[in-house]
Amino acid sequence: MSRLTEVSANRSFGGWHKQFEFDSQSLNGKTRFAIYLPPSATAETPVPVLYWLSGLTCTDENFMQKAGAHRAAAELGIAIVAPDTSPRGEGAANADQYDLGQGAGFYLDASQQPWAEHFRMESFIVDELRQIVEESFPVTGERFISGHSMGGHGALVLSLRHPGLYQSVSAFSPICNPVNVPWGIGAFTAYLGEEQNLWASHDASELMRASQPEQHCPTLVSQGLADQFLEEQLHPHALVSAAEQSGYPLTLEQHEGYDHSYYFIASFIEQHLRFHHAQR
């Protein structure tokens, strides 16, 4: 815990929601994350951990405050870790648009300037943050990953790019085929450059289509059919097609009337937590 500075602590459903700040080597600057520790989490009884990746414009706070996940996490004995969505601060590059720069890291390691110095979110999530969490808190090596929108993209892609690291993956309204939608094209061009062959290695549909059985991971995707971004940005049909081609264990659930908001997430987060718990 020596690297961590506690920012806040709140009692919740018998457990603790806490925020911590530390100097990240991956992001080359200070960053913050939140963790929910259920009441059963002790040094004698460590618990599995779910990593939650949020969407565009979000921070570590959105999910913890709006999703209503603590009650089910307390019951099931699952810790939840919510990192920020990008590097922050005066030193980190930014853009005058909501879908690029701070708040829009896309969970990849940027190779292009001015982003490469700080925007290394993939390394941060799968290596640095994971190591800090497992060294500092009473959690086991059982890991799940989930997310929303840009974070759903991140959860799917990181599970595919790092086989065996997570026992299961789920997503709400993910960007399923970023190489073919405006959000993805803009971010990938800025962060990875013009070489589109590189983009496919950060696209869940492309990775899933080419996946081998050893990369397969139980996957649950929830999509609202009243989502305002469904047709232009999300493309879940591409993910379904890819899973059918490779035999990937994907379950897509579509929900009438639900949009892209946290009302949707709050309605089905317990189902997602129980899905992950069942994969232990």
Give CA separation, 42 vs 18, 136, 139, 213, 235, in Å. Answer: 15, 12, 8, 35, 42
Domain total for the chain?
1
Cβ neighbors of 53 (< 8 A, separation 6 or more) are: 83, 85, 107, 125, 145, 146, 147, 148, 150, 151, 152, 154, 155, 158
Q: What's the pLDDT at 181?
A: 98
Tokens of 136: 């500092």
Q: What's the pLDDT at 2?
A: 60
**Residue 276 known to be catalytic:** no
**Residue 259 known to be catalytic:** no
Q: What's the pLDDT at 1?
A: 53
> Strand, coil or helix: what is 40?
coil
Q: Which residue range(s) make up the domain with 9?
A: 5-278
The pLDDT averaged over each successive group of 10 residues in the chain (280 residues) is: 88 98 97 98 98 98 98 98 96 96 98 98 98 98 98 98 98 98 98 95 98 95 98 98 98 98 98 97
Residue in 208, 210, 278 with CA at minimum distance from that of residue 249? 208
Q: What's the pLDDT at 256?
A: 98
Q: What's the pLDDT at 19?
A: 98
Q: Which of 70, 118, 235, 260 is catalytic?
A: 260
Q: Which of 99, 153, 227, 235 is catalytic?
A: 227
Q: What's the pLDDT at 240?
A: 98
Indicate which CATH number applies to the domain containing 21.
3.40.50.1820
Radius of gyration of the chain from its Cα atoms, rounded to whole angstroms: 17
Q: Which of 149, 205, 211, 222 is catalytic?
A: 149
Tokens of 218: 């139980």
**Residue 8 known to be catalytic:** no
